[in-house]
């Protein structure tokens, strides 16, 4: 409870929802308090069920079945409940105790009922609660050994029909469907617990297929079906551990599952079954995995399975072979192999693979930048600084960007050869500027590189000769204002002119910022009267823009 505050609620909901939640305090009803949760009904456009969780390491959280809440947001109804809880914080311990007392009284009452009385009560409930009736029907079918009946009911629970409009389950209905699918998984687990693990394996595999088919038609943005799939995978594993099926058959099923179309949801890992498969099953699993990979060396699932088995067996050469069979053109796979070899304590081989990645790349401009970074780091550690410079130079020539220029500069400075490298790099950028090639932010990269070198005079000259983006001119004017006030003034006036024809507070902020810079220039030039006249003319022309005039007044303009 200590972590629940108004500030926490505002952070969870956002300022707008928090303020709107204040207006719903009078329509919170039916508050029930548990040890670390509070539930209530909040009457908005409709009646919404709201639950606020107070415990947990992540702090307060909540769920609401309003449309906004179903999208995973902390809505205004949750805010209203949270504020209600804060208002009643003094009485919460008493309410919790009352809830425990009621639960104990209910348990004592139920314990005192006869079998016939309990049956009457249960029958009343299953008449009113369809979900409870389905769960109990599953239990009954399981207890009677009616496998066909259990299978039929599981199929019903996994059928999207009752939740789908036009054949698709929308987000608002996905959680209800997931809850129902979860009942099917629970029923399969009950079979294992009642000594019928072999049947549980059969039904779990059918459920995997049905759920995988269903998820294609469900908006599972909330991840509820993903959790059901994980639970189903665990249920299948526990059933296999209990029933101990034929290891070779299990190995074939696992490989087929991983390579098939149904693995995305359950994400079954064959290595989790190693204790069930034993040596015979693992042998078959490895043989089938190798056969599948040799038949399709570029298949993602085949590569994943082979890599998992190779890593589990500590066979680094097999892992490398899997990656080497499908090398990316940009050297990324070479980098993956290099990291694997580094982890295996084979750095020399790792370096050779990384160098191959650069040498074998089809397009030097597309080489994975992480691969180049890796090689430069290795060269630096080995005191091969000229090699790092060569690599950064090639990278810059292939992809002339400001980051590539900065990386070349860092490498060349480390190797004590930056002046010569800079001259060559700037020569390339001057050629680009002459062709009017744009840089990383719209203007010639030459200007950005010179600015990054803190060579303002050279950057100004390059901009004057080859043109520049307004962003570049503004940076130049800001940097040169103290020593070149007249030049800076011309830039500021040019940039301010189009803003006078626009509206909006963001525009006014930009214009006022430029006016302050213009004022500084006039002060440096000793022409404050010219600035005063400029401001008077501007105020007259912009007199209808009250927000602009107010902002100018706030800044003494």
What CA–CA distance (Å, rounded) separates 417 from 421? 6
Contact 340, 316 (CB under 8 A): yes
Does 23 map to a domain?
A: yes
Contact 180, 131 (CB under 8 A): yes
Hey, how many other C-beta atoms are within 10 angstroms of the C-beta on 495? Answer: 19
Contacts 24+ apart (CB under 8 A), 148-153: 150/187, 150/191, 150/199, 150/203, 151/203, 151/206, 153/184, 153/187
Q: Which two tokens stand for residue 447?
A: 């200007």
pLDDT at 187: 84
What CA–CA distance (Å, rounded) separates 396 from 418? 14
In this prediction, the residues of the chain whose per-residue pLDDT falls under 70 are 1-2, 55-58, 142-145, 262-263, 437-443
The parent domain of residue 542 ranges over 481-557
- Pairing assessment for the beta strands 47-53 and 28-33 based on DSSP bridges: unpaired
Task: Quickly tell me which residue has 């949750």 as its tokens.
Answer: 78
What CA–CA distance (Å, rounded) separates 367 from 404? 13
Task: Quickly tell me which residue has 């060349």 as its tokens.
Answer: 412
Cα dihedral 395, 396, 397, 399 in deg (nearest 10):
80
The radius of gyration of the chain from alpha carbons, rounded to an integer in Å, stands at 35
Of the residues 63, 93, 112, the one at which a domain ends? 112
Task: Quickly tell me which residue has 């074998």 as its tokens.
Answer: 360
Q: Which two tokens stand for residue 529?
A: 């009267």
Does 372 map to a domain?
A: no
Closest CA to 468 of 494, 441, 489: 441
> How far is residue 485 from each of residues 467, 470, 520, measured CA to CA in Å?
20, 18, 8
Q: Please give the tally of structural domains in the chain.
A: 2
Sign of CA dihedral 69, 73, 74, 80: negative
Contact 538, 551 (CB under 8 A): no
pLDDT at 330: 92
> How far is residue 428 from each of residues 367, 393, 421, 437, 510, measured CA to CA in Å?
20, 11, 11, 11, 35
What CA–CA distance (Å, rounded) separates 47 from 50? 10
Contact 178, 228 (CB under 8 A): yes
pLDDT at 429: 93
Helices (H) and strands (E) in the chain, counts: 29, 4
Give 39's strand partners. 32, 51
What CA–CA distance (Å, rounded) separates 153 from 500? 72
pLDDT tens for each residue of 142-196: 666 678 888 888 898 899 988 887 889 888 788 888 888 888 888 888 888 888 8
Does 539 map to a domain?
A: yes
Of the residues 79, 112, 145, the one at which a domain ends? 112
Give 28's strand partners. 42
Of the residues 83, 112, 141, the one at which a domain ends? 112
Does 283 map to a domain?
A: no
Does 30 map to a domain?
A: yes
Q: Could you write out the three-class secondary structure of 290-320?
A: HHHHHHCCCCHHHHHHHHHHHHHCCCHHHHH
Does 518 map to a domain?
A: yes
Contact 462, 450 (CB under 8 A): yes
Query: Which letter does DSSP use for residue 81 in this model?
Result: H
What CA–CA distance (Å, rounded) separates 277 from 250? 7
Helix 456-466 / helix 445-452 crossing angle, nearest 10 deg: 170
Does 57 map to a domain?
A: yes
pLDDT at 492: 94
Total residue length of the chain? 557
Does 494 map to a domain?
A: yes
């Amino acid at each position: 409870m200590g972590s629940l505050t108004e500030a926490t609620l505002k952070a969870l909901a956002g300022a707008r929802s928090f303020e709107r939640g204040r207006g719903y305090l009078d329509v919170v009803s039916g508050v029930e308090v548990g040890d670390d949760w509070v539930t209530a009904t909040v009457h908005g456009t409709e009646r919404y069920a709201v639950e606020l969780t107070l415990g947990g390491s992540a702090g307060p959280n909540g769920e609401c079945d309003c449309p906004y809440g179903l999208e995973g947001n902390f809505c205004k109804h949750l805010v209203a409940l949270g504020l209600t809880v804060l208002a009643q914080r003094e009485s919460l311990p008493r309410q919790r105790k009352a809830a425990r007392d009621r639960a104990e009284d209910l348990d004592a009452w139920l314990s005192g009922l006869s079998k016939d009385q309990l049956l009457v009560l249960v029958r009343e409930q299953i008449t009113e609660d369809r979900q409870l009736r389905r769960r109990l029907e599953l239990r009954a079918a399981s207890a009677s050994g009616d496998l066909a009946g259990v299978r039929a009911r599981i199929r019903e629970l996994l059928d999207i029909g009752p939740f789908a409009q036009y054949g698709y389950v929308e987000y608002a209905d996905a959680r209800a469907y997931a809850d129902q699918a979860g009942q099917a998984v629970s029923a399969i687990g009950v079979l294992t617990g009642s000594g019928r693990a072999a049947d549980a394996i059969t039904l779990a595999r059918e459920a995997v297929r049905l759920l995988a088919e269903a998820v294609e038609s469900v908006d599972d943005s909330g991840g509820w079906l993903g959790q059901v799939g994980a639970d189903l995978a665990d249920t299948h594993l526990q059933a296999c551990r209990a029933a101990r099926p034929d290891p070779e058959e299990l190995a074939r099923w696992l490989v087929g599952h991983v390579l098939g179309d149904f693995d995305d949801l359950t994400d079954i890992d064959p290595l989790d079954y190693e204790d069930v498969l034993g040596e015979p099953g693992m042998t078959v699993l490895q043989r089938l995995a190798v056969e599948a990979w040799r038949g399709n060396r570029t298949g993602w699932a085949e590569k994943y399975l082979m890599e998992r088995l190779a890593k589990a067996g500590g066979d680094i050469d097999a892992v490398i072979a899997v990656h080497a069979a499908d090398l990316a053109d940009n050297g990324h796979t070479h980098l993956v192999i290099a990291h694997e070899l580094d982890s295996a304590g084979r750095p020399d081989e790792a370096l050779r693979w990384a160098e191959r990645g650069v040498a074998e790349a089809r397009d030097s401009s597309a080489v994975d930048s992480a691969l180049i970074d890796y090689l430069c780091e290795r060269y630096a550690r080995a005191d091969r600084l000229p090699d790092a410079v060569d690599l950064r130079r090639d990278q810059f020539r292939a992809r002339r960007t400001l980051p590539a220029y900065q990386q070349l500069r860092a490498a060349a400075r480390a190797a004590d050869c930056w002046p010569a490298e800079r001259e060559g790099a700037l020569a390339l950028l001057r050629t680009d500027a002459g062709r009017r090639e744009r840089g990383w932010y719209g203007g010639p990269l030459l200007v950005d590189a010179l600015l990054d070198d803190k060579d303002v005079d050279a950057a100004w000259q390059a901009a004057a000769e080859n043109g520049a983006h307004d962003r570049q001119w503004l940076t130049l004017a800001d940097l040169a204002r103290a020593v070149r006030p007249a030049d800076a003034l011309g830039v500021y006036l040019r940039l301010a002119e189009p803003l006078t024809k626009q509206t909006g507070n963001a525009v006014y902020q930009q214009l006022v910022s430029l006016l302050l810079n213009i004022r500084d220039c006039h002060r440096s030039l000793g022409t404050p009267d010219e600035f005063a006249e400029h401001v008077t003319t501007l105020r007259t022309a912009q007199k209808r823009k009250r927000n602009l005039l107010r902002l100018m007044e706030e800044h003494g303009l």
